[in-house]
Structure 1
Amino acid sequence: MVLPFTERVVQIIRDIPAGRVMTYGQVAGAAGNPRGARQVVRVLHSMSAKYDLPWHRIINAQGGISTPSDREEKGGFQRELLEAEGVEFMQNGKLDLKVYRWFPEEEFMW
């Protein structure tokens, strides 16, 4: 049985270990829709609380935190959560994707 995209996204995000991150596009691709980064944003926005998702482990493709300019405090909170898990940010405010990016196991059978 093939899971719907939203369910795959939720499972992938749940499986990201502490101290590791994935990008929006990377989650979308792993869930079967490489062009679905915006859908991942919607899933995070609407389902993070309901499913207790580690939303803070999802970052942009440049290794930065994506926060609307009117919600800077949320970006600071996301950074705090990541740092509490051992993630270190560079001086430019980004993290090194070569160090912290997580790749899900290929065992997912969607």
Structure 2
Amino acid sequence: MTPFTANVIAVIQAIPEGKVMTYGGVAKAAGSPRAARQVVRILHSMSRKYRLPWHRVINAKGRIALDDESGSVQRLYLSGEGVEFEPDGAINLELYLYVPEADPENYFLPPLE
């Protein structure tokens, strides 16, 4: 596993219940701001193995990127955590965005074993 992949996993695991991050925000926090698509790949391939809260990662517009049944499940999970959706389906990032840099405990992400 690459250090970036390990950091992505740690960042996603640190997203608290009722908060969201964008794919780009996860990439930036993991050390590679231009790797949002890589975050998508990691979520797709490793969510189950590492029990990642995949539903807490959304696109930069505050929307669920999936438009299939998984998108409905994601919305259900987020709603269950208290995340409210705007009438147009977006999430208010000013209210629900989690920024790890604002949490001093997340400055240095723990290594994965």
User: TM-score, normalised on structure 1?
Assistant: 0.91
Q: Does 1:58 align with 2:54?
A: no
Alignment partner of 2:70 out of 74, 88, 98 = 74
In structure 1, the partner of 2:90 is 94
Output the CA distance in 2 between the equivalents of 1:20 and 1:6: 21
In structure 2, the partner of 1:83 is 79
Output the CA distance in 2 between the equivalents of 1:46 and 1:55: 11
Q: Does 1:10 align with 2:9?
A: yes
Matches within 5 A, 1:25-64: 25-64=24-63
**Structure 1 runs, 4 residues or longer, greater than 4 Å off:** none
RMSD: 1.3
Unaligned runs of 5+ in 1: none
Report the identity percentage.
54
TM-superposed CA distance for 1:78, in Å, is 0.2
User: TM-score, normalised on structure 2?
Assistant: 0.88
Write out per-residue CA displacement over residues 16-59 of structure 1, whole angstroms, 9 at most, x where no aligned residue.
00000000000000111000000100110000000000000000
TM-superposed CA distance for 1:108, in Å, is 2.3
Alignment: residue pair count: 105
Name the amino acid aligned to 1:93.
G
